[in-house]
Every structure is written in C-alpha cells, then in structure tokens.
Amino acid sequence: MIPVFDGHNDFLQRVVTGGTGVWLDGDGTGHLDLPRARAGGMIGGFFAIWIPSPQGPNDAAAVALMENPPFAMPLPEQIPFVQALPHAFAQAAALKALERTGTLDIVTTARGIRETVAAGRIAAIMHMEGAEAISDMDALHLWHAAGLRSLGPVWSRPTAYGHGVPFAFPSSPDTGDGLTDAGRTLVRECNGLRIMLDLSHLNEAGFNDVAALSTAPLVASHSCVHGVSRSSRNLTDRQLQVIADSRGLVGLNFASSFLREDGRRLPLEGFDTMLRHLDRLLAILGEDGVALGSDFDGALMPRDLPDAAALPALLAQMEAHGYGEALIRKIASENWINLLERTWGE
C-alpha cells in the first residue's frame, strides 16, 4: 500500500467531545480515526487546532445557500482571544492525549516523522488554523515549545494578523486588505522559529504580503485550483506560480464545494474533477510541489472518497489516469516530508 501523509484534518474537536476512544476504535461518524487511517495507508498528517465560529459553513442555513450558487457569505466576526484560548488549549490537550495512547507521535522534525513512521505510529504535526489563540509573539514562542510547527494566520474570518476569504462562488480571492502590522511581525517570527506558514484561507492581499516577507517555501496545505472551480477559497494560476517559484507546495483539498466546477456544496461524483485539479497543479508546481490536504472532518467529502479508508481509491485513479508510481508516491507522502525538511531545516 502506498503511504499517505495528509496536509489537513479537523479531527481534534471530535476527541475533545468524545475522548480518545473516538480515535482508537472509531464511533461511526466523521472521516478519520485510527482504524480508517490504517486501512487507507495514512502514516501522518497535520492535526488542526481550530476555533469554531458561532455560525459556520456547515450550519443548515449556510449549507442551503451553498448548494445553489451564486452565493457570497459574509465573513464571521473575529473571535476574541479570551474566547479562543480555552478552545485551543482543549484541542492541543486532545492531541497530547492521542500521543499517550502510544499510536501517534507529535513530531517536530522531518527526522522525527521518518522515525515515527518506521516505528509504525502515526506522525502528527500540531497545526493551528487561524491564530486567534496567539495574543503576541511571547505566546507564539510558548506554543512552539508545546510542539506547534505549522500555523495559518487566518481561517475564513478576520484575526489580529490578517483577513480570510469569505465563502463565495463565483469569486476572486482578492476580497480585502492584506496583513496587519502584527501579521507582518508574525510572519517574521514564524520564519525565525521555522514554523511553517499556511496560506490556505488567506485572502489574495494577505497571500501577497506573506510571499513578499517570508523566507521559507510558500505552502497552501488544503486548497484547490481557481482555474477549475471559481471559489474564493481556491488559488489562481498566478498564486500557484508564486508558490512554485518559492519551491513550495499545495495540498489538494477534498472538499466537494471547492472541487466542483459549479461550486455547489453537494458530494462530488467520481474522480475526474479531482484529477483535473491535480493536472493543473502539476503543470504549474511540478512533480515536487503537489500533495494532498484532505480537510477530513472539516468539509463535505466526495461520494467516492468518504473517509480516510478510501484513500487507496484516489491513488488507484491517479494510476489509471497515467501517473506513474514514483509520482503517486511523491503526491501521497514524499513531497510533504521533503517540504517540511526544507522548511524546518531538519
């Protein structure tokens, strides 16, 4: 089985509410747990700490709106630090609890990823999606000491550091202002600490600011191609070229609404559209710049890729599409590990 290293999941809140048994045995819900990860060949991934908004894209009213484009949802309000921090602590503690089960290691180096995988455990990267729980750079250093090695300055709402894109179709990602002064400081500090910066969810002006400031390879952990699906969340060919020029990487998001050419929040049928996104990514980023970023437990999955256990079906479709085994292995896991080695320096 070809191993898979995944660029993004939102599984930790399920552990907060359901305990480690949700990981060890599964509870029949969601997209990810240890049995399904094993069945899918998953060797590791980015486990996101994410603060939910009072109203979000998975609420019934939002789902109804997104099923029938065009739509343009307003950005949710900024989450205050004092509300965000308890959520972030609870999800970080949930990841630490998973580590204590002996099935998963929180990894902070590329060497650590390889050692964990060789030992038969899941390699988990502590990622923060939206920096609401980071009040200042002293707090960033504290999170780094706790194991944080990947950070997205925003989810799809404002933070003290920048502005996320709203959920909209059809729409450009050019939807607002760039990074704040605090956001520019955050980029420099993350570079100094070798924390990977994630551009997914950041609007185009913020993307441009990170690209101008950052000394690390540019990364969008879970994004799709605007040239295939005109969602505000997707990356234009120009943005993809900027990432390519930095020797960076894009992880393909499995969210049906960002994959579908019509932008509808309905399960994607078949794999042809996913392969169109991958073809376009490969044409711009090259074989070393494309990976997977599922968004498991955070989005509506395609009908034929409902959870982690179905990952081999996607890889089989890549092979049937003409991708050779070496390329499939790069996309499935090797590119992520090599990117992290370039970013973390170990």
Classify residue 153 by its DSSP letter: S
SS3 268: coil
- Nearest CA among 22, 24, 76, 20 for reference residue 50: 76
Give exposure, 20-40, as e/b (b: 16+ Cβ within 10 Å).
bebbeebeeebbbbbebbbbb
Rg (CA), the chain: 18
Query: CA 149 to CA 196: how far, in whole Å?
Result: 6
Residue entry with tokens 């997977």: 292
Query: CA 277 to CA 78: how far, in whole Å?
Result: 32
Question: Using one digit for the tens of pLDDT, what is the confidence trace for 180-208?
Answer: 999 999 999 999 999 999 999 999 999 99
Question: Using one digit for the tens of pLDDT, what is the confidence trace for 125-161?
Answer: 999 999 999 999 999 999 999 999 999 999 999 999 9
Q: Confidence class of residue 53 from pLDDT cuts 50, 70 and 90?
A: confident
Q: How far is CA 96 from CA 69, 102, 148, 243, in A?
A: 40, 11, 12, 32
Per-residue confidence (pLDDT) for residue 56, from 0 to 100: 78
Give exposure, 3-19, as e/b (b: 16+ Cβ within 10 Å).
bbbbbbbbbbbbbeeee
Lowest mean pLDDT among 50-59, 80-89, 269-278: 50-59
Q: Confidence class of residue 337 from pLDDT cuts 50, 70 and 90?
A: very high
Q: What is the mean pLDDT of the chain?
A: 97
Residue 316's contacts (CB-CB under 8 Å, 6 or more residues apart) are none
Per-residue confidence (pLDDT) for residue 220, from 0 to 100: 99
**With contact defined as beta carbons under 8 Å apart, do 209 and 182 qualify?**
no
Per-residue confidence (pLDDT) for residue 323, from 0 to 100: 98
Q: Confidence class of residue 54 from pLDDT cuts 50, 70 and 90?
A: confident
pTM value is 0.97
Per-residue confidence (pLDDT) for residue 88, from 0 to 100: 98
Query: CA 287 to CA 52: how far, in whole Å?
Result: 35
Helices (H) and strands (E) in the chain, counts: 15, 11
Lowest mean pLDDT among 19-23, 28-32, 56-60, 200-204: 56-60
Q: How many CB atoms lie within 10 A of CB 261?
A: 11
Per-residue confidence (pLDDT) for residue 57, from 0 to 100: 84
pLDDT of 55 higher than 80: no
Query: CA 178 to CA 207: how far, in whole Å?
Result: 8
pLDDT of 346 higher than 80: no
Per-residue confidence (pLDDT) for residue 236, from 0 to 100: 98
pLDDT of 178 higher than 80: yes
